[in-house]
Amino acid sequence: MARSRKSRSSSTPAATGAVAGRYEISTGTAELVPDTFLPDAWTLMINGVPSSHVQIGRPDVLEFEYMRWIAAGVEKLVAAHHDPATVRVTHLGGAACSMARYFADLWPSSRHTVVELDAKLAAYVREWFDIPRAPTVKIRVGEAGEVTRGFYPGSREVIIRDVFAGARTPLDLTTPDFFRAAHAALVPGGLYVANCGDFHSLVATRTELAGMAEVFAHVAVIADPPMLKGRRSGNIILLGSDRELPVEGSPEAAALGRVLLGGAVPAHYRDERWTRALFDGTPPRILATAQDRHDHADNPAISLVETPESR
């Protein structure tokens, strides 16, 4: 998603230190790959997996389709129910801080906390990319689940979970226990957003939604039609809130739908009725013991996550 205006973030550093190459980080290896199509743009690879895309000086450009879908959903829902000038957004999963850069540029007075597990990576991305300085964007090093459970109640309007360990979402971030922690950290009517990667069977999607529905009063999804029909593997964006989400056929849903259809990979918004029918009868994921977590992690049928789409 590229908005038709120039970047306006006054707190963005002008100089960056991005240099192509491989770098040792706390959790393995990061690689900066120049974009051959866009000027001064980079793909960040983490242990061989495409993790983020950044174009220096253009925080409004989001190259990964699933990030465009997240942006569309968050923009519409925040504008409808919160004050964008004072909104507080937590990004679980940092990498190159693409989403934090985007929203900080869109809403210059907003505040963003990026939770990144890898301390060396967090230091590198500050050096490489034009990430707004604190307090606009703060990078906090820590494990996403542990940090989320330590948030003050009602301390943020939006939580975006985009966490991967290799090509997998850590299983303890897909349980009702984790969703309860995220819910507690949100203000009343706050928005929880998750990037869920899945096979065409949509087992992971159904399982996460079943857990979210135990905690959030309302749920919905965004994805491209082949993914929603179970015809391929890819990304589905999951939405949860205690505030009613747009109902298909409403002006709000129609406005969001127009934005989603305008991208290079058109996507659809599916409301609560459709979403609940999707996961009807599916039990949520419960990880009772360390061995249980290990067994689940070894089962690719429920834990493999698609990497972001390439151009």
- Mean of the pLDDT values across residues 269-281? 98
Q: Beta-carbon neighbour count of residue 51 at 10 Å?
A: 23
Task: Please say if the pLDDT value at position 297 is more than 70.
Answer: no
| Residue 303: per-residue pLDDT | 33
| Residue 292: per-residue pLDDT | 53
Q: 88-92 and 156-161 as β-strands: parallel, antiparallel, unpaired?
A: parallel
| Residue 1: per-residue pLDDT | 63
Contact 41, 55 (CB under 8 A): yes
167 pLDDT band (50/70/90 cuts)? low
| Residue 3: per-residue pLDDT | 56
166 pLDDT band (50/70/90 cuts)? low
| Residue 168: per-residue pLDDT | 76
Contact 201, 168 (CB under 8 A): no
Task: Please say if the pLDDT value at position 5 is more than 60.
Answer: no
> With pLDDT > 90 as the criterion, what percentage of the chain qualifies?
82
CA–CA distance, 100 with 66 (Å, rounded to integer): 15
CA–CA distance, 32 with 55 (Å, rounded to integer): 12
- Mean of the pLDDT values across residues 248-275? 96
Task: Please say if the pLDDT value at position 277 is more than 90.
Answer: yes
Task: Please say if the pLDDT value at position 14 is more than 60.
Answer: no
Helix 203-213 / helix 176-185 crossing angle, nearest 10 deg: 50
Report pLDDT digits (tens) over 106-136.
999 999 999 999 999 999 999 999 999 999 9
| Residue 126: per-residue pLDDT | 96
DSSP code at position 184: H
Q: Is 3 exposed, middle or buried (0-12, 13-18, 19+ CB in 10 A)?
A: middle
| Residue 33: per-residue pLDDT | 97
Strands, E, within 199-245: which ranges? 218-223, 234-241
Report pLDDT digits (tens) over 142-159.
999 999 999 999 999 999
The domains of the chain, with CATH numbers, are: 63-303 (3.40.50.150)
Report pLDDT digits (tens) over 199-243.
999 999 999 999 999 999 999 999 999 999 999 999 999 999 999
Strands, E, within the chain: which ranges? 21-25, 28-34, 41-46, 49-55, 88-92, 111-116, 137-141, 156-161, 186-198, 218-223, 234-241, 268-270
Helix (H, G, I), strand (E, B) or coil at 152: coil
Task: Please say if the pLDDT value at position 2 is more than 60.
Answer: no
- Mean of the pLDDT values across residues 35-47? 94
Helix 65-81 / helix 98-106 crossing angle, nearest 10 deg: 40
